[in-house]
Amino acid sequence: MDKFVIHKSSLKGSVEISGSKNAALPIIAATLLTDEECKIHNVPCLSDIKIMIKILEVLGKEINFEKNTLVIKTKKKKNYTAPYRLVKTMRASFCCLGPLLAKRKKAKVSLPGGCIIGTRPVDLHIKGLEELGAQIRVENGYCEAKAKNLKGKRIYLGGPFGSSVLATANILMAATLAEGETFIEYAACEPEIENLALFLKKMGANIEGEATPLIKVKGVKTLGGCELEIIPDRIEAGTFIAVSLATNSPLEIKKANPDYLTSVMEAAKKMGASIDVSKESSIFIKPPRNLNPVNITTLPYPGFPTDLQAQFMACLSKAAGVSLITEKIYPDRFMHVAELNRMGALIQRTGPYAIVEGRQNLYGAEVMASDLRASAALVIAGLGAERKTQVLRVYHIDRGYDRIEEKLKKLGAKIKREK
């Protein structure tokens, strides 16, 4: 098991953003809807991607992954079971359920695992597929579904904390091969869903309204192969904005789409940063000498992303004043609070709220990464802290950041990976 050893660093230069993990995973699953060859470009080299590749290989796909390009074609069509040994490590693998059911008429997918960030039920996935006509039972840790023919319907996907990205993806994929028209109400509007819809349309799907709360899908009989490029990872771009703020380092963030980061850049500006955007999809950020406190509330897109809450909490731990962070997506997503406090932060958590009293300095400590985004927060805190920081269990960060320590080293960060 690896760890990061980090010392306080001043950074400069430019960093290039990789393709989006959260876009790539459902798109890879969507290749189950066709037997023809698909090519997917700008795929990040992550442990989550490798797990999804293994799942599709079990399901009969032949896959080649070279130079960030996936070539996927069907080898066998009979298997319809995504096993627990693979699905347990990654929640997005549950996205195999919809396309498997639509194409092979039955599916058996293990209930998912992933990061420990609070309860994330799959009830909306099941509800939506049942309304399309699937017969589903959950037994012995598996979700088993079958349907002779899926039929389009008007489906409401609103949950207690807003729309669900993965449920929207699952229902959207299944609806492409359903009879008639499907209307997905309260659909997730995230750019990752828009990227998935573009992929499906290139395969021959009939979809309207992606990137809006109402998606209309007119079912077709078959889908074909296609080629697509994955969008830039907005969460990785936002993480490097946080790196800039925490280390007081001006940076150029290249191959980022600023349109996906409006709420994040607005928070950074309120903290005192100046931000410029180029026509070449670069973000230039210059942080202030002292960060201002701000209040942040996580919301569905285009609101502030829950996947950047931890990273910005690390920054606000050094702000000159008191900040309030409200988590409205995953109210229990505060595993990083105790570890940041071990580094000298003053953070008090009450329910879905975290009160962050900024301090001039944080101090290095041995800390434990509990999940993917908490790992990034601890790395950010370590880069801005006095003395040595050791971040344990960095396998979490490898799930969502492509070679993050190498990218940081090129910027001048004092970080190394050790066993």
List domains and CATH numbers for the chain: 3-18+232-418 (3.65.10.10), 21-229 (3.65.10.10)
Amino acid present at 267: A
Q: What share of the chain is helix, strand, coil (3-state, %, to 5)?
A: 35, 25, 40
DSSP-derived secondary structure for 301-330: TTSB-GGGHHHHHHHHTTSSSEEEEEESS-
Gap between the Cα atoms of 135 and 171, Å rounded: 14
Scanning 225-274, the segments in alpha helix (DSSP H) are 234-247, 262-270
CB atoms within 10 A of CB 96: 31
Q: Above 50 in pLDDT, residue 119? A: no
CA distances from 345 to 337, 339, 348, 393, 413 (A): 9, 9, 10, 21, 21
Structure tokens at 135: 């017969």
From 115, 143, 226, 315, the catalytic residue: 115
Closest CA to 28 of 50, 52, 3: 52
230-268 pLDDT per residue, tens: 999 999 999 999 999 999 999 999 999 999 999 999 999
Q: What is the CA radius of gyration of the chain?
A: 21
Dist CA 49 CA 43 (whole Å): 8
Closest CA to 56 of 38, 72, 40, 34: 72
Would you state the structure tokens that stand for residue 340, as one six-digit string? 């940041």
* Nearest in space to 155 (alpha carbons), one of 130, 190, 135, 189: 130
In whole angstroms, give the CA distance from residue 176 to residue 167. 14
- What are 388-410's pLDDT values in tens digits? 999 999 999 999 999 999 999 99
- Pair 289, 245: CB distance under 8 Å: no
Indicate the pairing of strand 206-208 with strand 81-82. unpaired
* pLDDT score recorded for residue 78: 82
Pair of tokens at residue 198? 């573009």
Q: How confident is the model at residue 120 (pLDDT cuts 50, 70, 90)?
A: low
| Dihedral, CA of residue 338, residue 419, residue 113 and residue 149, to nearest 10 | 150
The pLDDT assigned to 109 comes to 92
Phi and psi (nearest 5°) for 38?
-125, 140
Q: What is the pLDDT of residues 348-400, one digit of tens each?
A: 999 999 999 999 999 999 999 999 999 999 999 999 999 999 999 999 999 99
Q: Extract the tokens encoding 48.
A: 């989550």
Please work out, in degrees rounded to the nearest 5, the angle formed at the alpha carbon of residue 287 by the alpha carbons of 286 and 293. Answer: 150
The 3-state DSSP class for residue 13 equals: coil
pLDDT in tens, 127-173: 999 999 999 999 888 999 999 999 999 999 998 878 899 999 999 99
Residues 273-330 pLDDT 10s: 999 998 778 999 999 999 999 999 999 999 999 999 999 999 999 999 999 999 999 8
Q: In 3-state terms, what secondary structure has residue 19?
A: strand
Measured in Å, how far apart are the chain's first and last C-alpha atoms? 6
Respond yes or no: is residue 143 known to be catalytic.
Answer: no
Rounded CA-CA distance 413/176 in Å is 46
